[in-house]
Amino acid sequence: MFFSKMLIPTLREVPSDAEAVSHILMLRAGYIRQLAAGIYIYLPLSLRVFDRIYKILREEMNAIGAQEISLPILHPAEVWQETGRWYEIGDEMFRLKDRTGRDMCLGMTHEEIMTWLAAREIRSYRDLPQVWYQIETKLRDEARPKSGVLRTREFIMKDSYSFDKDEEGLEKIYQLHAEAYKKIFTRCGLKFYMVQSDPGMMGGATSHEFMAPSSAGEDEVILCSSCGYSANIELAKSIPHKPENMDWEFEEIHTPEKRTVQEVSNFLKIKPEYFIKSILVISNNTPILTLVRGDQELHEKKLNRIIGKFRPAHKQEVKEILGVEAGFIGPHNQKIRIIADSCLKEGVFVSGANKQHYHVKGIRPDKDFKAEWHDIHIPKEGELCVECNSPIKIERVIEIGNIFKLGTKYSMPLKAFYLDEKGQEKPLVMGSYGIGPARIAAAAIEQNYDKDGIIWPKSIAPFDVEILPINVNDIKTMEVAEKIYKGLKEKNIDVLMDDRNERAGVKFKDADLIGIPVHIIIGEKNLKEGFVEIKDRKTREVTKVKVEEVLSLF
């Protein structure tokens, strides 16, 4: 491919509304343009990257026996109504009507449609298992599209769905997917972790996420380097360090106008880790008192899984329900439900006294209050692993894939049944598995760039080699350039030739920006001695090579 024939609109300056590295570089290097919030145009260079990612996806999916099919993006409402998601999902679903007034929606995922198909076409245990996948567009009306291509409203996803006769079969195909995913991300040149993830409010099911470490990510995971425990921070458990046990007697202390943990801590000269932080929340119109240690924060998602939807109580409500101003509330003598973080189970603490301007010191769990114990704090770096007691690390990550055990959540309502060996009708046991190719590309950039531009992993680069003839008006230069170009193409190497009549600086800058892994630089001076240069984009190492020997290196 010749540079002059390809749409590669590079930008010298950083577009003002881009912040994430991958966003800036994809814009500057001429890979994408933005049409509207969360809606992108993919230019020729990015299509080449995607094609390479798709190829890897197909190879690895086919290798585990998955079959590619293609489902519509436009769906009739009825299918979604049957599983109830038509009603459960809110504004995130794009909805529309056809000309006859029939309700339709744009697919944000394809469990319903795949199950619809399975319900019609799978009848016998002899047909099982089946794994179907597609690489198709999804549409979600995201509340906040962000970070360029990382969170968009329209995006392509590789999604596969497995149908089995039982849990055992599901487990097997789930593991096959996990292995395939590891191969895929490894082949794409990414650093990644497979972590436990929140299966959502549906309960029961297991799920894992594949996470590429990057500061541009929206998620955080905790990692234990000693036993390998890894989980999304939304459900990750951890053990906070235990402070030395104090042998305080129960006593009320006057703490005038001292409300926050920090204020009381300073006032009493007692560290926050000896405090019980009491937070009143309202769930289902019922007040619940939640307790975390003074140096911890309440993890709303974790609490959400225990008590369902909730909101913090208003100041006025605290006074009405507990009879004392927020800031002086505590767990003892409370009659309402109490949920406390496990790290408060042992020890002697300070908390509000349920009396204006007073706190109590020497409060003991179980003796002075009863609670349901759960891990409800936000984990912090350096806390201990629940599995092996080693210090944990926290890293920011981009979610690049997930795998889900669905069970019969979709097969039941959509009546996707099969007949087993005994002629008994049973629901298909399902799993679903997703990968976002655009996120792979963006994560690859986030993990591989320098001040001059992108450094693509070889496997997903838009081209393998870029040839840079410095002076296109020099006949000898062009002769050699074209010879190498042809030779590489014959070897099935994807090569971009910068045939533009531009100054050397412009070509070098653009080549570095675009990030093709290998550059062959053809300059007049070197050529006089029979040499060209081969430059490694990543290491910037340049080697002089005899013109005749170039092709043998590839």
CA distances from residue 425 to 83, 122, 153, 173, 429 in whole angstroms, order as listed:
20, 12, 39, 22, 13
- Helical spans, DSSP H, in 44-143: 44-63, 77-83, 85-88, 111-121
Span of 8-16, 253-261, 350-358, 364-372 interacting with RNA by CB under 7 A: 8-16
- Which amino acid, residue 59? E
CB of 550 to RNA, least distance (A): 13
CB of 150 to RNA, least distance (A): 9
Chain centroid to Cα 164, Å, comes to 27
Residue closer to RNA by CB (options 48, 305) is 305
Among 28, 258, 277, 374, binds RNA (CB under 7 A): 28
Span of 179-187, 274-282, 441-449, 470-478 interacting with RNA by CB under 7 A: 470-478
The bridge status of strand 207-213 relative to strand 393-407 is antiparallel
Among 58, 95, 146, 259, binds RNA (CB under 7 A): 146
Q: Is 154 in the site for RNA (CB under 7 A)?
A: no
Q: Is 387 in the site for RNA (CB under 7 A)?
A: no
The rounded distance, in Å, linking the Cα atoms of 24 and 14 is 6
Q: Is 379 in the site for RNA (CB under 7 A)?
A: no
CB of 236 to RNA, least distance (A): 15
Q: Is 535 in the site for RNA (CB under 7 A)?
A: yes
Residue closer to RNA by CB (options 78, 263) is 78
The rounded distance, in Å, linking the Cα atoms of 552 and 554 is 6
Q: Which helix (H) or strand (E) holds 21?
A: helix 21-28
Please list every residue from 508 through 527 that binds RNA, using CB under 7 A: 508-510, 512-513, 521-526
Long-range CB contacts for residues 363-370, cutoff 8 Å, separation at least 24: 363/250, 363/276, 363/330, 363/331, 363/332, 364/250, 365/340, 368/250, 368/331, 368/332, 369/331, 369/332, 369/333, 369/334, 369/338, 370/338
Of 311, 309, 302, 386, the closest CA to residue 340 belongs to: 302
Please list every residue from 86 through 125 that binds RNA, using CB under 7 A: 88-90, 92, 108-109
Q: Is 475 in the site for RNA (CB under 7 A)?
A: no
Residue 510 backbone phi and psi in degrees, to 5: -65, -40
Tokens of 486: 């042809």
Please list every residue from 278 through 337 that binds RNA, using CB under 7 A: 300
Residues 189-228, one symbol each (x = binds RNA by CB under 7 A, - = not), give -----------x-----------------x----------
Query: 526 near 550, Cβ under 8 Å?
Result: no
Q: What is the SS3 assignment for 344? A: helix
Binding-residue total with RNA (CB under 7 A): 59
Q: Is 37 in the site for RNA (CB under 7 A)?
A: yes
Q: Is 133 in the site for RNA (CB under 7 A)?
A: no
Q: Is 442 in the site for RNA (CB under 7 A)?
A: no
CB of 107 to RNA, least distance (A): 11
β-partners of residue 146 are 151
Q: Rule CB under 7 A: which residues touch RNA?
A: 10-20, 23, 28, 34, 36-38, 85, 88-90, 92, 108-109, 140, 142-147, 151, 200, 218, 300, 452, 470-471, 473, 501-506, 508-510, 512-513, 521-526, 533, 535, 542
